[in-house]
Chains A and B, each alone.
Chain A
Amino acid sequence: MQKIWLILTAALLAVSLVLFTPTNPTSTIRSKLVIATTTSTVDSGLLDYLKPYFDARFDADMTWLYLGTGQAIAVASRGDADILLVHDRAREDAFLAAGNGIHRVTVMYNDFVIIGPANDPAGIRGAGEATEAFKRIAEAGESGRALFVSRGDNSGTHALEMKIWSALGLDPRGRRWYMEAGQGMSPTIRLSSEKQAYTLSDRGTWVKLKSAFGEALRLQILFEGDKILLNPYGLILLNPQKYPQINSELAEKFFLFMVSEEGQRLIDSYRVAGEQIFFPAFGKAEDIGLPSEEEEVQFWVKRLSESGLEPPQYVKQR
């Protein structure tokens, strides 16, 4: 019996050593920033890429919640995150109108692509517009020749997909050829590959996944380049009066970092498998076909110079 107690005591000692050792000794020293964001900024690896630069410049610890846009906005509107980086303009505007956020700029953009099996059973390759491509998928679906996988999770990508269906006057939900994954972009793409189905993806996640899986991912880009497929990412500063408990000071620093010369240059230089994933957009809203954001741009250029940071060259030259 004594032996058992010896073993037990030794095990307990070992266990308590593990249990009461703080796992992150730096966490109490450095200031933590929690970004509520979409799956695409995480899955594409962009935030991992930016983290060391931001952490070093502001002696901070940048972390993020990996959510769809809908959930990210819900979490932020409860005050459970410090800043929002999402891509669904309609919901972003509603968030601002409700007084939850005080500043928003389009910080970067890329585009959505329609991917599907190489043999393209719905024949969307030659389609003139994204709506036309969706129409062909629906028709092929009804005759049992094609499948479509939807995110089905209230994400920004899902919102755009629903916008295209409703532009066609179609409600595909419940149809036999239409599947709702209820998951992030990456699982949805993998599901589409297994089912040899069409899906709508942001280019970032697609390129990252394609480079990770190679030929094992049996899908291709079949349609791209339509205006409606533009994918702008909004950076939103939360209302510190409404959410006094958030780390609004560091959130503003992150905002400044993202719109600064350094941040925009880093976004511009990020590559996955040699391919550019995100394009800087601060001060370029009108150039890419979005409503003017001049007022916000002026405000942030001023805040940048007050904070001793450089605005991007092209903004300064104007």
Chain B
Amino acid sequence: MKAVELIFSGDPNVIQVTLLSLRVSGLATLIGGALGIPIGAFVALRTFRGKTFVISVINTLMGLPPVLVGLVYYILLSSTGPLGFLRLLYTPEAMILAQLTMVLPIAAGVTISSVSTIDPRLREVAVSLGAGPLQEAAILLWEARLGLLTALVVGFGAAISEVGAIMIVGGNLLGYTRALTTAIVLLTNQGEFVEAIALGIILLALAFLVNAILTLLQMRSRSSLFAQTYTRQSQLKW
């Protein structure tokens, strides 16, 4: 009960930590998706040598261990590291970078599998009707839009629940880089279980919210697809 009270108390620290988590994981998902979806579409639609190998690599990277990503970025961004001049270590930007590295292969991988499941005849029809390569990709991606949406939601879910990478590159600095997950780790260590649970509930609620929006979109999208097909068929019959 105390945990629930804390959530609605409007505690500025709780709000700040929640907003930071949303901002970091949200941007990581958007950027990771913006890069990963085209890569996935390219790989899925083109035939080239080593395609199977590339797909295997992407599938492997979908399970990138967050702590490894964190460690590599720490070494790169450390002030004596090769990218140290960017002064990014222990900033939200470094956290976004680490998370988008995890989101990108997820977005690419899910795109590949959802584009591949589209009826190949659609592609043939599009090409035979004179669609250029870009138009063709656009048509297929539109067909696969539910899959792409899933890619983004899965990516977001992985990002916002992740703790290993952002702990290392973010440093869990109060007021700067303390996110929901890293705050939970710290509070647990300090024996403040009530506050830790409160943040956990917020984390779950956010994940639920995003998934609920997706499910809603999927259902609407399906029903309208169905409606279209149905209308078309009845028109034909008529």
For B172, the chain A residues whose CB sits under 8 A away are 65-66
Range of interface residues on A (Cβ < 8 Å)? 35 or more
Chain B nearest CB from A215 CB (Å) reads: 13
Give the interface segment out of A4-12, A104-112, A173-181, A224-232: A4-12
Chain A nearest CB from B38 CB (Å) reads: 19
* Per-residue interface assignment for chain A, residues 14 to 34, with 1 indicating a CB less than 8 Å from any chain B CB and 0 otherwise: 010011110110110000101
* Per-residue interface assignment for chain A, residues 54 to 92, with 1 indicating a CB less than 8 Å from any chain B CB and 0 otherwise: 000000010111100000000000111000000000000
Q: Are B79 and A65 in contact (CB under 8 A)?
A: no
Q: Are B78 and A18 in contact (CB under 8 A)?
A: no
For A80, the chain B residues whose CB sits under 8 A away are 78-79, 89-90
Q: How far is the CA of A21 from the CA of B213 in the complex (A)?
A: 22
A245 at the interface (CB under 8 A from B): yes
In the complex formed, the residue of A with least CB distance to B220 is A4
Give the interface segment out of B21-29, B128-136, B229-237: B21-29
Q: Are B189 and A34 in contact (CB under 8 A)?
A: no
Which of B89, B174, B220 is within 8 Å of A63, CB to CB?
B174
Chain B nearest CB from A189 CB (Å) reads: 9
B175 at the interface (CB under 8 A from A): yes
For B10, the chain A residues whose CB sits under 8 A away are none
Q: Are A209 and B220 in contact (CB under 8 A)?
A: no
Q: How far is the CA of A63 from the CA of B22 in the complex (A)?
A: 22
B216 at the interface (CB under 8 A from A): yes
Q: Are A209 and B191 in contact (CB under 8 A)?
A: yes
A318 at the interface (CB under 8 A from B): no
In the complex formed, the residue of A with least CB distance to B173 is A63
Q: Are B175 and A24 in contact (CB under 8 A)?
A: yes
For B186, the chain A residues whose CB sits under 8 A away are 42, 66
A213 at the interface (CB under 8 A from B): yes
Q: Are B171 and A245 in contact (CB under 8 A)?
A: no
In the complex formed, the residue of A with least CB distance to B27 is A19
Interface of A is mostly: mixed
For A24, the chain B residues whose CB sits under 8 A away are 16, 175-176
A23-B19, A184-B189, A212-B190 known; A18+B80 contact, CB < 8 A: no
Q: Are A63 and B80 in contact (CB under 8 A)?
A: no
In the complex formed, the residue of B with least CB distance to A184 is B189
Q: Are A79 and B190 in contact (CB under 8 A)?
A: no
Q: How far is the CA of A303 from the CA of B223 in the complex (A)?
A: 75
A220 at the interface (CB under 8 A from B): no
Q: How far is the CA of A34 from the CA of B90 in the complex (A)?
A: 10
A4-B220, A245-B79 known; A43+B176 contact, CB < 8 A: no
Interface residues of B in 1-29 (CB under 8 A from A): 16, 19-20, 22-23, 26-27
Which of A21, A212, A243 is within 8 Å of B19, CB to CB?
A21
Which of B22, B81, B191, B192 is within 8 Å of A18, CB to CB?
B22
B32 at the interface (CB under 8 A from A): no
Q: How far is the CA of A26 from the CA of B22 in the complex (A)?
A: 19
Q: How far is the CA of A1 from the CA of B227 in the complex (A)?
A: 11
Q: How far is the CA of A81 from the CA of B16 in the complex (A)?
A: 23
Q: How far is the CA of A245 from the CA of B79 in the complex (A)?
A: 8
Q: Are A19 and B78 in contact (CB under 8 A)?
A: no
Q: How far is the CA of A42 from the CA of B192 in the complex (A)?
A: 13
Q: Are B19 and A78 in contact (CB under 8 A)?
A: no
List 16 contacting pairs A-B, 8 Å CB cutoff, sorted by A: A4-B217, A18-B26, A23-B20, A24-B175, A43-B190, A63-B173, A64-B173, A65-B90, A65-B172, A65-B173, A66-B172, A79-B78, A80-B78, A212-B191, A243-B79, A245-B87
Q: Using A65-B173, A80-B78, A212-B191 as known contacts, list a sample of 19 further A-B pairs with CB atoms less than 8 Å apart, ordered by residue number in A.
A: A3-B220, A7-B213, A7-B217, A8-B217, A11-B213, A18-B23, A19-B30, A20-B23, A23-B20, A26-B175, A34-B171, A34-B173, A45-B190, A65-B171, A79-B78, A80-B90, A186-B190, A187-B188, A246-B79
Q: Which of B's residues lie within 8 Å of A, judged by CB?
A: 16, 19-20, 22-23, 26-27, 30, 78-81, 84, 87, 89-90, 92, 171-176, 186, 188-192, 213, 216-217, 220-221, 224
Q: Which of A's residues lie within 8 Å of B, judged by CB?
A: 1, 3-4, 7-8, 11, 15, 18-21, 23-24, 26-27, 32, 34, 39, 42-43, 45, 61, 63-66, 78-80, 184, 186-187, 208-209, 212-213, 243, 245-246
